[in-house]
Amino acid sequence: MRSVVSLRAYPNNARRHSKRQVKQIAESIRRFGFTNPVLVSDEGEIIAGHGRVEAAKVLGIGEVPTLALSHLSAAERRAYVLADNKLALNAGWDAEILAIELQGLIDLEFDVSLTGFSLAEVDFVLDAAQDRKEKPERIEPVDRVPPVPAEAVTRRGDLWALGKHRLICGDAREDRDYATLLGSERVDLIFTDPPYNVKIDGHVCGLGEVRHREFAFASGEMSTDEFTGFLTATLTNMAGRCRDGAIAFVCMDWRHMREMLDAGAAAFTEFKNLCVWNKTNGGMGSFYRSKHELVFVFKIGTAEHTNTFGLGDTGRYRTNVWDYAGISSMGSQRAEELAMHPTVKPVALVADAIKDCTKRGELVLDAFGGSGTTLIAAETCGRRTRLMEYDPAYCDTIIARWERLTGKQATLVSEQTPFSDPVSGSMASATIATAATHLGLTFEEVAEVRLGSAWVSAASARGSIEPALRKEVRARVSNRRSRA
């Protein structure tokens, strides 16, 4: 062991350590210990380990382990300073094994930044590994949105598990729905696309060719003050579920910039930036055709936020102008897709924003689930989502979209606890009869129970899915799928 102050840097060391790298080394020493001694001459001149010594100073470590290379001549020491740095750089990576190891650490909830890989590099490695895999059963591209059903399977209060994601049919204004969706979880990022308080009919594409469903609320019926209050309430609810330092991306059109800024100032700590989605084609409009949409970026709290696009050779190059094709220019099915949901964002746009400010495995919240683009984007880039959607039919669309993309099945986790009728004060008998009856069933099985034939509807009205009935439901669904 030698004291740090007794060690001298080699003046001609060609390797440079940035403040960022010294910080990385310090974090590694803090977590793993000082596992690699500093190589020195007998006189205390550093041969290898300049970065480790600087990191020790950052950590306030007074003494570090050293190894004196007494057997080397002055010329050999000079050569070894170069060799120690260059020889390690000459090695390569087995991309497949590297991806497996990084994913394994993420699955163990280990901080992969301690490996020295930046968050952007981790995403690049794992995204490339995913692209190399065969994608069997990928029935539809990520930007395809299934039709909205005429009759919904989902009911108010349903909580669905979609793999590592969760979806609740709930109201962004109601705190109890956030409690059901998140429990004690803290959110790392918000990406949400609230309704724009613009009546869909006549304002969003089509000129009569495409007919959109109107949103359940904030679809042109609110005054300026009412819409500001609506945004403030819902964004405050979302911000209250976030960790200190989380980032929020909130989409809005140019008509309501003032309301968004006022609501954002009330709900969030800091207005970070305004990003512009530069679309391929302009939309409808009598006074300039809008070729862009706005994404407001806010921060919650004062802790350090995640940034994977910082300056440097490991950062992702990102500006606040985002160039992505709009859904309206994505091929022959665009009219059908626009009819499903009028403000669909490209999955790539949302995925890139998520990757900008989160680590793999972290939690993303969207209280205006819409057609499920935030969930699909998180699925493609290894994050988890908690989604809320008010319209049961759109919940069905989100589930169908995820199931078709992944080949997996959603299951029902919980149903809304019965609540008193506001007029009579009594419990609604229909609500009681269906409470907690379908838990653990897949989406198809719940559909068989709720929308299926009279025999299963009558049986389920008894208030529970008995084992024999559950077995029959699953058998019928299985038989139908095998015939498909």
Write the CA distances from 472 to 180, 408, 456, 460, 469, integer angstroms. 30, 21, 9, 12, 5
Q: Which amino acid belongs to residue 228?
A: T
If 0-12 CB within 10 Å is exposed, 13-18 middle and 19+ buried, where does residue 91 land?
exposed
Write the CA distances from 292 to 8, 31, 345, 396, integer angstroms. 57, 46, 12, 29
If 0-12 CB within 10 Å is exposed, 13-18 middle and 19+ buried, where does residue 130 land?
middle
Cβ distance 328 to 334 under 8 Å?
yes
Give residue 284's pLDDT.
67
Give residue 470's pLDDT.
75
Say which residue the tokens 């060391």 belong to.
Answer: 13
Instruction: Please list the residues that pair with 292 across neighbouring strands.
Output: 278
Phi, psi of 75 (to 5 degrees): -65, -40
CATH 3.40.50.150 residue ranges in the chain? Answer: 159-416
CATH 3.90.1530.10 residue ranges in the chain? Answer: 2-89
Token pair belonging to 438: 């379908």
pLDDT tens by residue, 349-380 = 999 999 999 999 999 999 999 999 999 999 99
Phi, psi of 364 (to 5 degrees): -115, 135
What is the residue-level pLDDT of the chain in tens, covering all 484 positions? 999 999 999 999 999 999 989 999 999 999 999 999 999 999 999 999 999 999 999 999 999 999 999 999 999 999 999 999 899 888 888 888 898 899 889 888 888 889 988 888 888 888 888 777 655 444 457 888 888 888 899 999 999 999 999 999 999 999 999 999 999 999 999 999 998 877 655 444 444 444 445 555 555 678 899 999 999 999 999 999 999 999 999 999 898 999 999 999 999 999 999 999 998 887 766 678 888 999 999 999 999 999 988 655 556 788 999 999 876 555 444 444 444 445 678 999 999 999 999 999 999 999 999 999 999 999 999 999 999 999 999 999 999 999 999 999 999 998 754 333 333 333 333 333 343 466 788 888 888 777 765 445 555 554 556 677 777 778 877 877 777 6
Long-range contacts of 106-114 (CB under 8 A, 24+ apart): 106/360, 106/361, 106/382, 107/361, 109/361, 111/31, 112/359, 112/360, 113/24, 113/27, 113/359, 114/27, 114/28, 114/31, 114/32
Instruction: Name the CATH architecture for the domain at 2-89.
Output: Alpha-Beta Complex (3.90)
Cβ distance 153 to 443 under 8 Å?
yes
User: pTM of the entire structure?
Assistant: 0.74
Token pair belonging to 106: 């993420």
**The CATH number of domain 159-416, selected from 3.40.50.150, 3.30.70.270, 3.30.2270.10, 3.40.50.12780:** 3.40.50.150
Selection from 389, 387, 374, 441 nearest residue 414 by Cα: 441
If 0-12 CB within 10 Å is exposed, 13-18 middle and 19+ buried, where does residue 287 land?
exposed
Give residue 482's pLDDT.
75
